[in-house]
A and B are shown apart, each in its own frame.
Chain A
Amino acid sequence: MRLTCPLCGPRDRREYSCLGAEDYLNRPGAGAAPEAWDAYLHLRDNPAGRARDLWYHEGGCREWLLVTRSTVTHEVFAVELVAGRSGAAE
Chain B
Amino acid sequence: MAELIAKPVFAGQGPLEKAGLTLEPLPSGPIWLVALYPGAAARAAKLLKPLGLSFPEPGRCSSADDLRLIWAGRDQAFLLGAAPPEGLTDTAALTDQSGGWAGLSLSGPGVEAALTRLVPLDLRLREFPPGRAARSLLNQIPALILREDETRFAIRVPRSMARSAWADCALALERLEARAER
Point out residues on A near B: beta carbons under 8 Å.
7-9, 11-12, 14-15, 58-63, 81, 83, 90
B58 cross-chain contacts in A, Cβ below 8 A = 7-8, 61
CA distance A12 to B58 in the complex (A): 17
Nearest B residue (CB) for A12: B120
B38 cross-chain contacts in A, Cβ below 8 A = 90
Size of the chain B interface, CB-CB below 8 angstroms: 13
Whether the Cβ atoms of A15 and B59 lie closer than 8 Å is no
Whether the Cβ atoms of A60 and B135 lie closer than 8 Å is yes
- Contact status of A59 and B73, CB under 8 A, knowing A12-B120, A90-B38: no
Whether the Cβ atoms of B135 and A59 lie closer than 8 Å is yes
Judge if B126 is at the interface, Cβ distance under 8 Å: no
Contact partner of B135 among A8, A14, A83, A90, CB < 8 A?
A8
Instruction: Give chain A's interface secondary structure class.
Output: loop
Interface digits, B121-147 against A, CB 8 Å rule (1 contact, 0 not)?
Answer: 100000000000011110000100000
Contact partner of B136 among A7, A59, A83, A90, CB < 8 A?
A59
Interface centre among B58, B73, B135, B142 (most CB of A within 10 A): B135
User: For chain B residues 134-167, which have a beta carbon within 8 Å of chain A?
Assistant: 134-137, 142
Whether the Cβ atoms of A15 and B73 lie closer than 8 Å is no
Judge if B7 is at the interface, Cβ distance under 8 Å: no
Interface centre among A11, A12, A59, A90 (most CB of B within 10 A): A59
Whether the Cβ atoms of A60 and B136 lie closer than 8 Å is yes
CA distance A83 to B135 in the complex (A): 19
Nearest B residue (CB) for A60: B135
Contact partner of A61 among B120, B121, B135, B137, CB < 8 A?
B135
B56 smallest CB distance to A (angstroms): 12
Nearest A residue (CB) for B141: A59
A55 smallest CB distance to B (angstroms): 15
B72 cross-chain contacts in A, Cβ below 8 A = 61
B141 smallest CB distance to A (angstroms): 9
Whether the Cβ atoms of A15 and B74 lie closer than 8 Å is no
A59 cross-chain contacts in B, Cβ below 8 A = 135-137, 142
A61 cross-chain contacts in B, Cβ below 8 A = 58, 72-74, 135
